[in-house]
Amino acid sequence: MTKISAIILTKNSEKLIPDCLTSVSWTDEIVVIDENSSDKTREIAGKAGGKVFTFSGNFSEKRNFGAKKASGDWLLYVDVDERVTPLLRKEIRSRLAKRKAPSSAYHQSPYVAYAIPRRNFVFGKELKYCGFWPDYVKRLFKKDKFRGWTGELHEEPNFEVDGEVVTGGKGKIGHLERPLTHLKHNNLSEMVAKTNEWSEIEARLMYEAKHPPMNLFRFSTAMFREFWLRMIKQKAFLDGTVGIIYAVYQVYSRFISYAKLWEMQLKAKK
């Protein structure tokens, strides 16, 4: 039997983790990488049978730590605000199971990595525009071919295909049909808190990459590009009020990242 390890990253996630754990309870092992939670996250995960470890670092480092602690043949990464549906569970089991070939020989899945589509819910409403569908995320990997995650904010997986290590796996990764359920944001307060955290990292990465000095022209063009992408190209307005709010918020979020970059550049001059 193919053994599957589910890997979940947590931090003060006591409200989200119970349903997440239930959705992956069918896997052979649940590995929880917790970043010093001060609530009951660890306790809840432990009682549910999860193997809980404490580790601090960026997303790639935490995901890589989880891979080291997992013993399964396949690694399934599930964020704490995501849910594996029964249909997705069935498809994963089916894809990874040994199948009988016409020659009576047995063979495994032709892929060593899979991307999974996501249904994204914001304020309780599923969004299908603004780049939200199919929103493929690379989350399922054959452990002996997996070579780790890289990237501090928008991390990418590395895995071996035909003796070559590839990043991201464009053209060499399988795609599942059944989606994850992603409870992205419940309210504006959550969105603002996450933006404040992520924009700090994004600004620092741009600063370290020697981004040109921010000025009125660069602020204006950046905001215009984001608005054009979300509202016009990705048609966020077709998702109604929530879609419009989210699209405008993404413009704001982009502005905050660049404003923090500007602040860093200003301090460096002093």
For 242-256, what is the mean pLDDT?
Answer: 97
User: Of 171-175, 212-216, 244-248, where does mean pLDDT reach its minimum?
Assistant: 171-175
Sign (positive or negative) of CA dihedral 162, 88, 138, 226: positive
Q: Given this model, what pLDDT does residue 168 score?
A: 84
Cα–Cα distance, 104 to 172 (Å, whole number): 26
Q: Given this model, what pLDDT does residue 207 score?
A: 97
Q: Given this model, what pLDDT does residue 264 score?
A: 97
What structural domains does the chain harbor? Answer: 4-185 (3.90.550.10), 188-269 (no CATH)
pTM metric for this prediction:
0.92
Q: Given this model, what pLDDT does residue 104 score?
A: 42
